Structure 1
């Protein structure tokens, strides 16, 4: 894969293949969580699973809470949701991530185009799945940045203001103050157009965003 392909690719699979052996388990898990979070905004149980999965990525999850969630998911009355269980128990790798985000894109298609009408509206369904794949690549680039141009992040840019803003966004999962973070970094002497443009761009941003991770010293 070339840099131009990375920046324009609309399918996550080749990008994930390029990341094979380069991406940390934490980043891969947070990428999946980011994709799922964008398509399950109002599902209480899903949000709970995602919070625990994100804590697992950061080594913060408590076994008791994870096991309680797994018990609930395996309850016949609750039903078994494979992607939820995977988020809680699987060790990420690029193939697993590719399978999960591909399934998520198909789910979005099925939710939008009724299954019984797929034979008559397959083209519409395929367009929706392609659109979801494109959105996933945006999330992937938010998580991993541009691997062809790694950023050397100066410690001087990690001012109290910048770290506080990044930490608040990371914990709240609300990235509305990214432009303010750009201002704080610029005030601290950051002259990286990639960093500043990403903060001021349209987003969306998810937990694991490469700029926020750089400010917080996460890998």
Structure 2
């Protein structure tokens, strides 16, 4: 049975092993940014290719651009329905949107199967990192090479290039194991990846 979402608390070990994205989101509610929540919601849609026909892919891309400040609120509202008129709805609060797309509202708990929950949990960890440990990103690591690699991976969703980004950061003096291991690890990765965001100055 799923744990209730309200008042969620977690330890570092529980976060690392968690497979219930709703509980993780409840824990993060006051610990992350609206952009991060929106990026999680966008990444969630990419788990199911059946959701992303040409029209729906465009809607998701508008939401991603809005999260990065590249689309206006009018564009967002023109492509998403605010309310209950259809399947594609976008609650105004990013926290509730993130919960909605993960299928983990308390009243809709049975709609998520365990495999999907685990995938969503991995995505959330890719976006947030370890909320119990902050990484101090040395300005000297922000080389032109590192930034160009991060920008290309972000724009093209070319996550196979992240080990090359790790090499560039290491060449610039980065010895942080959390950063390097994340980039060289198996993923999954998505837009909003906590290390790529650090390189690009996003939050």
TM range (shorter): 0.7 to 0.9
Is residue 37–residue 50 contact of structure 1 (8 Å, CA) maintained in 2?
Answer: no
Task: Give the number of the structure whose alpha-carbon radius of gyration is greater.
Answer: 1
Counterpart-to-counterpart distance in 2, 1:189 and 1:174: 24
What CA distance in whole angstroms lies between the structure 1 residues aligned with 2:54 and 2:157? 15
Secondary structure class of the residue paired with 2:151: helix
Q: SS at the partner of 1:23?
A: coil
2:16 maps to 7
From the superposition, tell whether residues 18 and 68 of structure 1 become closer, same or farther in structure 2 (CA, over 3 Å).
Answer: closer
List alignment gaps of at least 5 residues for structure 1: 75-79, 105-124
1:132 deviates by 0.3
1:137 equivalent in structure 2: 121
- 1:33 and 2:42 matched: yes
Cα distance 1:188–1:91, how it changes in 2: closer, same or farther (>3 A)?
same
Aligned equivalent of 2:103: 102
Q: Report whether the alignment pairs 1:51 with 2:48.
A: no
3-state SS, counterpart of residue 159 of structure 2? coil
Partner of 1:121: none
Secondary structure of the structure 2 residue equivalent to 1:176: helix
Q: Report deviation, 1:45.
A: 1.5
Q: TM-score, normalised by structure 1?
A: 0.78
Partner of 2:3 in structure 1?
none
Deviation at 1:90, TM superposition (A): 2.3
Contact kept, 8 Å, 1:144 with 1:209, in 2: the verdict is yes
- Higher share of residues assigned helix: 1
> For 1:140 and 1:209, how far apart are their aligned partners in 2?
9
1:85 maps to what in 2? 89
Matched, 1:155 2:175: no
Distance 2:92 2:128 in 1: 21
Could you give the per-residue CA deviations for residues 145-168 of structure 1, whole angstroms, max 9, x where no partner exists? 001111000010011010001111
Map of 1:185-200 to 2, 5 A cutoff?
185-200=169-184
* CA RMSD in angstroms, aligned pairs only: 2.5
Equivalent residue number for residue 204 of structure 1: 188
**How many angstroms apart in 2 are the aligned matches of 1:64 and 1:21?**
27
Question: Which one of 171, 176, 185 corresponds to residue 155 of structure 2?
Answer: 171
